[in-house]
């Protein structure tokens, strides 16, 4: 072991938190005023606000709008330090965590909040050819892939129809499909006059007979109608059988849908590396915990957020609110334990509702003790909640400005936040652009 790479034991109790997402950061912050050393470990140097990743992927927000520098947390929490690295192994007898850079972090108390990754369910070709959207890098890859296809079609004269297939009818899939439909309907006529929007298709594939299955029927029906009004091609009750480089095979009749981009928004699973962490795993690979979110068989180890599965019939939904509340609970539990207090009662998740937006002034909100909301009122709630939970005032301001420009001035503002596209080459011989009238056009030379 390289001694210089090892984080030695300290005189104060040492709490290590693996994962800087909703759950991990909330646990860290709960220990702000406790006489303890806190080390946060994450493979990325930033926190990502996952509910708005699709806005990055569809060119409305900058990636910096929804990410927060994890080292900046220390400005308000002096007992916290950050270590950038990927956990490769854990030894709970020695209370050691091994990182990919060879470093070893020794803990007294451990909180595992490492999040999840895309679940491809063993579908052939999905991992190779579909684009997931669970990291900033993946969202940017999806954005660049979409605009590359548009630029290629604009140069080549749209020799064939364009299609983006979104796999998954949950909130992420519905929000992505709605945003892409609005990009086609509102922006493409102004920004891509060479293309025919009627030959650009947004298809949402869902194996269940409805979208947004966790919502009540009224909200499902509203979302269905709203997507239809935006021209989204809904393929419900159709499972994906295979993903190919040029499209997907769906349904029992194995219909092939040609597609330039396939977006994967169809479920999550824990990272494969968790199997090397010497932790008990249950359904879907999620870490098994008791009613106090303590990992079974390990008194000083907790698991929170999407990576954790409660025992019995108390499995929590893999959403932001259970992660936030679980992280706060574990932080408070550790605070009591370190200060000699009594153990808290078992963790109780307080359902604050679920939200999804379909597009401008169109959303659904299912909030306890409130009638189901649709349309503009639900969209206002969705916007306010997302701005509230963003980290940092700069992020909130930037997101508010960009969303405002997108949704309030949609008739005049067609600017998209784009990245690089590869050099576009015309396949059928040399062409020149003729300027004339309102639009230029291509002609063969």
Active site residues: 175
Buried b (16+ CB within 10 A) or exposed e, 362-389: bbbbbbeeeebbbeeebbebbbebbeee
**What is the pairing mode between strands 301-303 and 109-112?**
parallel
Non-local CB neighbours of 56 within 8 Å, separated by 6+ positions: 62, 63, 65, 66, 136, 139, 140, 143, 417
> DSSP secondary structure string, 115-157?
--EE--TT-TTHHHH-B--SSHHHHHHHHHHHHHHHHHHHHHT
Return d(Cα 343, Cα 28) in angstroms, integer: 19
> DSSP secondary structure string, 323-392?
HHHHHHHHHHHHHHHHTT-PPPPPP------EEEEEETTEEEEE-TTS--EEHHHHHHHHHHHHHHHSSS
Hey, what's the torsion of the CAs at 285, 63, 385, 362, to 10 degrees?
A: -100
Q: Which helix (H) or strand (E) holds 223?
A: helix 217-229
* 167 contacts 262 by C-beta, under 8 angstroms: yes
Instruction: Give the residue from 149, 153, 156 showing the smallest Cα distance to 131.
Output: 149
Return d(Cα 314, Cα 309) in angstroms, integer: 8
């Amino acid at each position: 072991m390289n001694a210089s790479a090892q984080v030695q034991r300290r005189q104060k109790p040492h709490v290590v938190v693996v994962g800087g997402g909703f759950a991990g950061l909330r646990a860290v912050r709960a220990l702000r005023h406790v006489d303890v050393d806190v080390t946060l470990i994450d493979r990325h140097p930033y926190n990502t606000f996952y509910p708005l990743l699709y806005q990055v992927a569809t060119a409305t927000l900058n990636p910096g709008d929804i990410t927060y520098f994890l080292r900046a947390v220390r400005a308000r929490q002096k007992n916290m330090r950050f270590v950038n690295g990927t956990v490769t192994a854990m030894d709970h007898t020695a209370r050691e965590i091994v990182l990919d850079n060879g470093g070893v972090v020794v803990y007294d108390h451990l909180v595992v909040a490492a999040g999840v990754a895309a679940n491809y369910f063993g579908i052939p070709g999905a991992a190779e050819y579909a684009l997931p959207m669970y990291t900033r890098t993946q969202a940017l890859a999806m954005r660049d892939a979409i605009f590359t296809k548009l630029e290629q079609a604009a140069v080549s004269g749209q020799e064939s129809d364009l299609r983006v297939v979104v796999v998954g009818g949950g909130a992420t899939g519905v929000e992505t499909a709605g945003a892409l439909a609005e990009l086609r309907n509102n922006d493409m006529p102004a920004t891509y006059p060479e293309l025919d929007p009627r030959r650009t298709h947004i298809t949402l594939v869902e194996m269940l007979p409805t979208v947004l299955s966790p919502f009540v029927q009224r909200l499902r029906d509203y979302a269905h109608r709203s997507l239809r009004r935006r021209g989204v091609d809904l393929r419900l009750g159709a499972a994906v059988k295979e993903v190919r480089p040029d499209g997907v095979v769906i349904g029992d009749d194995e219909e092939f849908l040609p597609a330039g981009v396939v977006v994967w928004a169809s479920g999550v699973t824990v990272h494969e590396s968790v199997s090397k962490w010497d932790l008990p795993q249950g359904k879907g690979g999620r870490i098994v915990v008791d009613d106090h979110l303590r990992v079974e068989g390990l008194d000083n180890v907790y698991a929170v957020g999407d990576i954790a599965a409660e025992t019995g019939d108390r499995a929590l939904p893999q959403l932001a609110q259970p992660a936030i509340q679980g992280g706060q609970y574990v932080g408070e539990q550790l605070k009591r334990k370190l200060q000699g207090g009594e153990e808290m009662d078992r963790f109780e998740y307080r359902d604050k509702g679920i939200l999804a937006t379909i597009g401008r002034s169109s959303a659904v909100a299912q909030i306890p003790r409130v009638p189901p909301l649709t349309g503009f009122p639900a969209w206002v709630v969705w916007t306010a909640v997302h701005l509230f939970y963003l980290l940092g005032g700069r992020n909130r301001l930037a997101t508010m400005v960009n969303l405002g420009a997108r949704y309030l001035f949609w008739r005049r503002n067609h600017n998209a936040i784009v990245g690089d596209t590869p050099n576009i080459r015309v396949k059928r011989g040399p062409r020149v652009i003729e300027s004339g009238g309102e639009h230029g056009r291509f002609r063969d030379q």
